[in-house]
Structure 1
Amino acid sequence: MSALQRAIAQNARQAEEVNNSAQRLLQRQKEEKARRVEEDNNTWQRARWEAARRAMADGTFKTPEIRIPVIITPDGPVSSAKDLQQLAGMDSMPETLEATLIRDHWISTERPVTICYVNYGERARLEEKANIEYDPSGKFMVRFGEQKRYTMVVLSLKEGVTLPGPSEIGINGEGRGNGVVDE
């Protein structure tokens, strides 16, 4: 083997050692970062559980209410918060919020929409009266502020379900037959 070949072989070994050393360093850095992230997550979870235990012990713990956004479509079966209130059997009219639809049938979009929130009980009542589409894999997603949420869409009312028209609702939102005469 000539001196040139030995030098080339030695350079190749050194380059391989440097490469292996860099890969080991990169792997250690990845492992350390994963350990720190796991530690941060555990710290955050422990603090949250501890706060919940303290709240339970002193009687101030409240089970969080999960709320699901529903898109209100002016030309759809649920065209207003009042329609949603009636279908979902809500005690009061839900607050409407302006949001941006960012995913529609898994296709990215940027379109303004109006949403209202329902809880699980209201969602169940809504599902009894309407055909809804809700896909937690993200078929429909809205953004408001910094939050992104999966959302429900009411496709149609089920057979036999109708919403009262404007002529069937009195001044106070009551049905006819209550002695109130609409002008």
Structure 2
Amino acid sequence: MASHQTQSKFDTQIPAEILIGLVIQIHDWISKLESLRPSKQVNSLFTHLVKLCTLPSNIDIKALPQDVQNMRDDLMLLCGRAEGLLELEFATFVSKIPRPLNNLNLFPYYGYYVEVASLEYRILCENGVVQPKKVAFVGSGPMPLTSIVMATHHMKSSHFDNFDIDEAGNDVARRLVASDKELRRG
């Protein structure tokens, strides 16, 4: 019975108007925050947003009214800033402990990065890029998780370079990578 109820939850779509209304409300709350730095309130709002945005939906983004599309664009910018701050805080913390890469799985969205790295690797393989000598990640941030996962799970013989516009983030990322003998190679 419980499995049937679980299955029904996933098969049922929330009406588009309600979903859009909830996302607009969360955007309004996030926009009014003094800071996007990790906190109980910030984490709660973004967690709720992620849960809403991963629900089954047949919303056609291109058909949304322009004001909703503008809100969506703004929300994506806010999400990017908040994600960068979360990564910086976590990477700074974890870089100060012995063997920091052994603790990356504690990052709240680690599983997502593992999935993204696997998807990206599969796409590379499908397009004939199997074991390149060098790989560059642009916009890798202070915690270059995707490239770390790629280097440790999929492309062990490749040399990875991570670049970001934020020099402080680059410094933290370099400390993380330098903490691992295998990643320092090349």
Q: TM-score range by the shorter chain?
A: under 0.3
The structure whose Rg is larger is 1
TM-score, length of structure 1 as denominator length: 0.21
TM-score, length of structure 2 as denominator length: 0.21
